Structure 1
Amino acid sequence: MFRIFRHRLAVFSLGSLVLLLLIGCGGSEEALPTLAPLVVLPSPTATSLPPTLDISTRPPESGVASAGGGNGSASAEATPKPTITPTPVNPLINISDPNPNQLLTLGSEVEVRGLVQMESDQSIQVALWSSNSRLLTEVAAVPNEFGWQTSFVLPPYVSGAATMRANLLGADGSILSSYDVPVWLTLNKETATRYLELFRPTINAKAVGGFNIFFDGEILLPVNRTVTISIWADDCQTRVARQSFVLGASNRPVYWQGFVVVPQELVGPACAVASTGEPGTENWREASVPINVLAQTELEARGVTIGNPPPDDEVFAGQELFLYGTAYNVSEGPVSVSILMENGRVVSQTSFSTDYWGYWETAVTLPIDIEGLAEITVAAGEGDTFNESTTIIRVNPAPTPTPGP
């Protein structure tokens, strides 16, 4: 457009100049010079503009950029953006509740929770195991913003030592992380319709290989009126000794007692277990505690126990009192028993021998005129092997005779 305007301005200026010359010479009679013919300028032609650039067209996604200039061109491959790879989570789980060795009551609901590091395709499983590896229950846990949690009702089958275990499982079901907490399962005898309770052995009680170990407890509705006592070794996974006995028929709780011989070659941690019924059945009941088995050659493997009467037992004056127990490392040696009343009166003093497994027993008829607390002392061994044990019982007045007809 600028070039066209410039041509038109040149034509206009030349015509104006000729007109002024004619006006200036209008009064002269001299002949005017012949005008040279005007130069005819070429008509302007429109120049084609390039087509409008469509800026909506996106560049190719091949990652190749191109540029051109003159007669040459260049191209280069663009550098790809780095890929962010998430850091794998180290699988880890623990249990924060219940606390170690916490008492849990059978038949009640327990809440279990803890912390966890896990992937979205992993899962959590919680199990309750008895000390001799009987699976009592198993439930799934739910992750939350604080960790994980679950709850379940404690089954009524087993009391005593147990383990609460949390497993973190992979997508294929494999165990990636595991955490154990020892707990103690206790009875609620007021609500239980059937139970077995273990009084002795107590927790971590001493036993000696080759000698008897004493069991006692209370039971309600034993299956087939039978109680079985046993010793478990190899981390309480293998039963190595067993003894069963039959009780009298009763619909009420019954006190029971029994002995089992500990294998002579057994040494170290073990479990003492009492049960009735077949494991896994609805009527099965069981109780267990950890014990420690000593070799006969150890200095601590000496002593004497009183199996009967049990602590705090009540007896009547004038009746026969049956006593028994176990003496360790004094096999077939002397055992003495004395009964001393709280007023200082010595009721009885007797001596006898044990059998091959250290078992001893005796019977004493109590005088008819005694009453109150009595201390029973059992002593065994001589010199460096001497040991004794005591227990307290209460002697009630002799029953009043019922007059005859």
Structure 2
Amino acid sequence: MGRSKSLLLLILLLLAAGCQNADSGTPAVDLPTQAAAALLPTETLPPTSTPVGEGLPPTRTLTTATPQPTRAITPAPTRTPAPVNAIVNITVPENNAQLLIGQSVNVGGLVQRDTAQTVTVALLTINGQTLLEVEAPVAENNSWQTEFTVPPASSGPAQLQALVRDAAGDILARDVLAVTLVVDTSTLSQYLVVSRPVAGFSVVGGYYLYFDGLAGRPTGNRLTLTILTDNCQVAQATQGIPLNGSGYWQAFVYVPNNISGPGCAMVSFGEPGAEDRWEVSVPIDIKPPEGPDSYGVMIAGPPPGGALFGGQSFTIY
């Protein structure tokens, strides 16, 4: 109770003091006013899009679509075929086969080559004279085969060659087969046969080399005998002999004493390149006169295969 009276008294005293200040004319102290609220920075908006028609090149047509960049297409790399190493061989006929002149011969084998390359078959004398050359078709299994008739132009030792040629005709591969060209005197009217010397025969420089054989209708009734060296290309001695017609013939040719090594003994009639030309070449070995094995003996007559009759005399030399 006493506490409530004290509080009431305090309030009355405060009111009395306020009235006194109003009466005394003392200005009242202004209370501070609230400061204006600070403006927070606002987020900058992105610029609005340019209206259609503004900022474009004057030549731009607004109705056309914007061209898009084209992507260049890189061609796929192509595989370059690896070059083929040309290889050819002859499987038919066998090595050292006998080919009958004027008769047909089958020749075949296998080949590895590019499709642009061709296979040909050539028949040559041992001194490199080409008697014929024909193309051989190639099958899908890389086998090749051809057929030709042995021409009546040479007899004795020869070469059968299979060749791979490029588009320019250059030889890329070769296979060589040794063959013997055989004369059938019953079917040929013109021919030339050399019986001696035989292939590989040894001769000595400074001595004579013996020749014999058969001739049928020789052109001009004359034979030419030649000793050659340097791959059978260079003539070292030449001898011409007349004949009385067709039949057996024999002759001697002097071998120069200043040559030695591999060579050829060649017999021919007719002019080179003429249709009636016959040429027979036989490989020989020429030995120097002073060599340790430059000696020997041979029987020239009677000839090989000659007939001897009992009770009759004959000459041997």
Q: Aligned partners of 1:90, 1:210: CA distance in 2, in Å? A: 48
Trace 1:251-290 onto structure 2 (pairs within 5 A).
253-290=246-283
The corresponding residue for 2:167 is 171
Corresponding residue SS for 2:92: coil
SS of aligned partner of 1:303: coil
Matched, 1:231 2:231: no
Q: How far, CA to CA, are the matches of 2:69 and 2:247 in structure 1? A: 86
Kindly tell me: are residues 61 and 108 of structure 1, through their superposed partners in 2, closer, same or farther at Cα, counting changes over 3 Å?
A: farther
What is residue 237 of structure 2 aligned with on the other side? 241
Distance, in Å, in 1 between the alignment partners of 2:166 and 2:208 is 47
- Among 273, 293, 303, the residue aligned to 2:296: 303
1:236-271 Cα shifts (integer Å, max 9, x gaps)? 12222111111124xxx4111000011212212211
Alpha-carbon distance change, 148 to 321 in structure 1, aligned in 2, over 3 angstroms: same
Whether contact under 8 Å (1:167, 1:178) holds in the other structure is yes
Cα distance in 2 for partners of 1:192, 1:318 equals 36
Give unmatched runs, 5+ long, in structure 2: 1-67
Partner of 1:224, secondary structure, is helix
> Within 5 Å, which residues of 2 pair with 1:7-18?
none
Compared with structure 1, are the counterparts of its residues 148 and 62 closer, same or farther at alpha carbon in structure 2 (3 Å cutoff)? farther
1:292 corresponds, among 280, 285, 302, to 285
C-alpha RMSD over aligned residues: 2.5
- 1:316 CA displacement: 6.8
Give the structure 2 partner of residue 113 of structure 1: 108
Q: Higher Cα Rg: structure 1 or 2?
A: 2
Q: 1:80 and 1:134 mapped to 2: Cα distance?
A: 53
Query: TM-score, normalised on structure 2?
Result: 0.71
Determine if contact 1:132/1:232 at 8 Å carries over to the other structure: no
1:283-316 CA distance string (max 9 Å, x none) = 2222222111111222221122222222453467
Q: 2:21: which partner in 1?
A: none
Query: Following TM superposition, by how much is the alpha carbon of 1:138 offset from its aligned partner in structure 2, in angstroms?
Result: 1.2
Q: Tell me the distance in 2 between the aligned counterparts of 1:156 and 1:288.
A: 15
Alpha-carbon deviation of 1:173?
A: 2.2
User: Which whole-Å deviations, capped at 9, do the CAs of 1:125-176 have from their partners, x for residues lacking one?
Assistant: 2211111121101111111123222111010110011111222111222222
For residues 294 and 218 of structure 1, the distance between their equivalents in structure 2, rounded to whole angstroms, comes to 27
Matched, 1:190 2:186: yes
Cα gap change, 1:90/1:103 in structure 2, threshold over 3 Å: closer, same or farther?
A: same
| Cross-structure match for 2:79 | 84
Looking at structure 1, the residues matched to 266 and 74 of structure 2 have their Cα atoms a distance apart, in angstroms, of 71
2:156 maps to 160
Cα distance in structure 2, aligned partners of 1:184 and 1:311: 18
* Pairwise CA distance, 1:319: 7.9
Runs of 4+ in 1 over 6 A off after TM superposition: 316-320
Higher relative contact order at CA 8 Å, sep ≥6: structure 1 or structure 2?
Answer: 2
1:139 equivalenced with 2:134 (yes/no): yes
Q: Give, in angstroms, the shift of residue 81 of structure 1.
A: 4.7
Tell me if structure 2 keeps the 8 A contact 1:169–1:175: yes
Structure 1 residues 183 and 313: alpha-carbon distance in aligned structure 2, compared to 1, 3 A threshold: closer
* Contact kept? 1:212, 1:262, Cα under 8 Å: yes
Which residue pairs with 2:50 in the alignment? none
Matches within 5 A, 1:305-384: 305-314=298-307, 321-324=314-317
Give the length in aligned residue pairs.
249
User: 1:247 is aligned with what amino acid?
Assistant: L
* Residues 300/62 of structure 1: CA separation in 2 closer, same or farther (3 Å cut): farther
What TM-score comes out, normalization by structure 1 length? 0.57
Residue 99 in structure 1 maps to residue 81 in structure 2: no
CA deviation after TM superposition for structure 1 residue 323, in Å: 4.7
* Alpha-carbon distance change, 79 to 127 in structure 1, aligned in 2, over 3 angstroms: closer
SS in 1 for 2:220: helix
**Which amino acid in structure 1 is aligned with residue 79 of structure 2?**
I
Write the distance in 2 (CA, Å) between the matches of 1:81 and 1:290. Answer: 60
Relative to its length, the structure with more strand (as a share) is 1
